[in-house]
Structure 1
Amino acid sequence: MAAGEPGDLGRYYFRFLPQKTFQFLSAPETTSRLRQWSMLGRIEAQAFGFDQTFQAYRKDDFLMAFFKHPNVIPNLKLLSDSSGQWITLGTEVKKIEAINVPCTQLSMSFFNRLYDEDIVRDSGHIVKCLDSFCDPFLISDELRKVLLMEDSEKYEVFSQPDREEFLFCLFKHLCLGGALCQYEDVVNPYLETAKRIYKDLVSSDQTAALQIKNKIVVDSAGMCYPSTKNHEQTFSYFIVDPIRRHIHVLYHCYGVGEMS
């Protein structure tokens, strides 16, 4: 049986790359914004390498091999639901399901329609609206309305394929933030931060992104990845560079981020 064939997951070799740093986690401007959005201290990026050809159609097998590998189990970080502290996976997973996330949008002009549709003014200020709720989010401007409310008149400014793009997902996650998010009045901080994170994580036009569709049951004690609690803002993406054979893991667990 050739390496990487179905049923031969043990032939994948993964290595942890702790020397790889991500600028968005250390640049003062970005960390200040993540703090304001209640995401700092609850968001993490890590890098791993692998040694076989990545085949997108076998994404679930690939990720299952990743989560079972002895170099991943003691190094992959997640937040403990009970203590709120960073821990590592600690044991192999039992089941996995992932979805492909397109990485075809490479230009921030993708978001020009926000200005064209008067969701954002030419000055960059986000147009306000009457407060409403789209559980659990407070919607007080046209931007969050477009991101969350399917029955809003401008929701179709972004098509369903647009909304599946990794660049859009990043932007939306930043706009929604954490539990004590202080929203921006202008759109530029969201756009600039999404661009920086994207450039940090996506290294070539052949990059593939995968997202865990449902929480993964890790063990019989009830531990799950990325969390036992489902929330739109609890997510994990696995950005695979098939040329360099690197995986960048982006993780965030919804909650109250660092305050100072």
Structure 2
Amino acid sequence: MEEKYTFVYIESKKYKRLQDPSIQELLLKWSVKGNLKFQTYCFNQHFQLYQKQELANAFFQDHVIASTLQTMSLSGSWAPVGIVATSVDVEHIPCSATTMAIFSCLQDSSNGIVRSDGWIVQRPYEEIDNYTVADELRNVLLNHDCHNYKLISEAHREEFLFRLFKHLCLGGQWCQYEDNIKPYINTTKILYKDIIRVQKHPATKEVTITSIVLKVVARGSDGIAYFPRNPENEQNFAYLIVDPYNRQITTLVHHYGGTFQS
């Protein structure tokens, strides 16, 4: 009989780059600090992508996970989920980018999104998908009808690296937007390097991504999503970042709103 997945919480795991005071200051400014959480678990079994649903089901139905995995309560505080999932939606997210070249079109001043020094071009205020759009960066991220939208291919928009960038740009409920694109680019790079694993080919020195990224929504017996809550909001998101070689899972969850943290 095949052994079932089991999980061990690595409570001591730290994300050193993210603890840098300058990064923490930006996360606070974007209303993300306090609403974004990482946790790491070890698991015992071999894993390949075709087993994504099996792994996700086992993860969210495990009692160790129920007692240690944290989600944000309706009162805005973090607490263990306390339940096992009845169902889990799982989506494989492409994760192949090994450089920041995906953002070159955004930083090219000839495209009219930023100026040559990285300052973001402003535009008339409007609401798109309940987000305030007053500059060309958020316009190209959210407005399917803007003339620059197709600068970024759908394949690139699906990449985990680009998703992280968009999540940071949109921020939390009290987000104070940047006037320059560089803090978004730099913080995305730091976050990506902290949670994604790579390997280098010994002969060619080519770097490839070894992590597998799964976007998840876990639901209880009542059918209501709890990890994350209210996934209809794009900024309520949860990912399992699986390192199949070291047999580790990093959870990344963000809840839009919550409490303001200084």
Per the normalisation by structure 2, the TM-score is: 0.91
- How many angstroms apart in 2 are the aligned matches of 1:44 and 1:104? 23
CA deviation profile, 1:169-218 (whole Å, cap 9, x unmatched): 00000000001100000011111111111011001221110002xx4322
**In 2 relative to 1, CA 158–229 (structure 1 residues): closer, same or farther, beyond 3 Å?**
closer
- How many angstroms apart in 1 are the aligned matches of 2:140 and 2:53? 32
- How many angstroms apart in 2 are the aligned matches of 1:156 and 1:165? 15
Are 2:252 and 1:250 equivalent residues in the alignment?
A: yes
Are 2:107 and 1:115 equivalent residues in the alignment?
A: yes
In the TM superposition, 1:62-101 aligns within 5 A as: 62-81=55-74, 83-101=75-93
2:189 to 192, 195, 210: 195
Q: Secondary structure at the match of 1:169?
A: helix
- How many angstroms apart in 1 are the aligned matches of 2:232 and 2:9? 27
In the TM superposition, 1:8-27 aligns within 5 A as: 11-27=4-20
Q: Secondary structure at the match of 1:46?
A: strand
Q: Secondary structure at the match of 2:79?
A: strand
Is the Cα–Cα contact under 8 Å of residues 179 and 257 in structure 1 kept in the other structure? no
Q: Secondary structure at the match of 1:72?
A: helix
Alpha carbon RMSD of aligned pairs, Å?
1.5
Q: Secondary structure at the match of 2:66?
A: coil
Structure 2: give runs of 5+ residues left out of the alignment: 199-208
Letter in 1 for 2:186: E
Q: Secondary structure at the match of 1:224?
A: strand
Q: Residue 218 of structure 1 corresponds to which residue in structure 2?
A: 220
- How many residues align? The count is 250
Q: Residue 36 of structure 1 corresponds to which residue in structure 2?
A: 29
CA deviation profile, 1:30-50 (whole Å, cap 9, x unmatched): 110011001111100010111
Deviation at 1:118? 2.7
CA deviation profile, 1:75-111 (whole Å, cap 9, x unmatched): 1110002x11111111110001111111101111221
Deviation at 1:26? 2.0
CA deviation profile, 1:213-256 (whole Å, cap 9, x unmatched): xx432243956221146311010111111111111111100015
Deviation at 1:123? 0.1
Are 2:159 and 1:165 equivalent residues in the alignment?
A: yes
- How many angstroms apart in 2 are the aligned matches of 1:104 and 1:144? 24
- How many angstroms apart in 1 are the aligned matches of 2:225 and 2:153? 35
Q: Residue 209 of structure 1 corresponds to which residue in structure 2?
A: 213
Is the Cα–Cα contact under 8 Å of residues 38 and 178 in structure 1 kept in the other structure? yes
Letter in 2 for 1:220: D
Per the normalisation by structure 1, the TM-score is: 0.92
Is the Cα–Cα contact under 8 Å of residues 226 and 251 in structure 1 kept in the other structure? yes
**In 2 relative to 1, CA 222–154 (structure 1 residues): closer, same or farther, beyond 3 Å?**
closer
Structure 1: give runs of 5+ residues left out of the alignment: 4-10
- How many angstroms apart in 2 are the aligned matches of 1:236 and 1:132? 28
- How many angstroms apart in 2 are the aligned matches of 1:85 and 1:169? 25
Is the Cα–Cα contact under 8 Å of residues 36 and 182 in structure 1 kept in the other structure? yes
Deviation at 1:115? 2.4
**In 2 relative to 1, CA 257–140 (structure 1 residues): closer, same or farther, beyond 3 Å?**
farther
Q: Residue 44 of structure 2 corresponds to which residue in structure 1?
A: 51
Q: Secondary structure at the match of 2:188?
A: helix
Is the Cα–Cα contact under 8 Å of residues 35 and 256 in structure 2 kept in the other structure? yes
Q: Secondary structure at the match of 2:112?
A: coil
Is the Cα–Cα contact under 8 Å of residues 128 and 142 in structure 1 kept in the other structure? yes
Letter in 1 for 2:29: Q
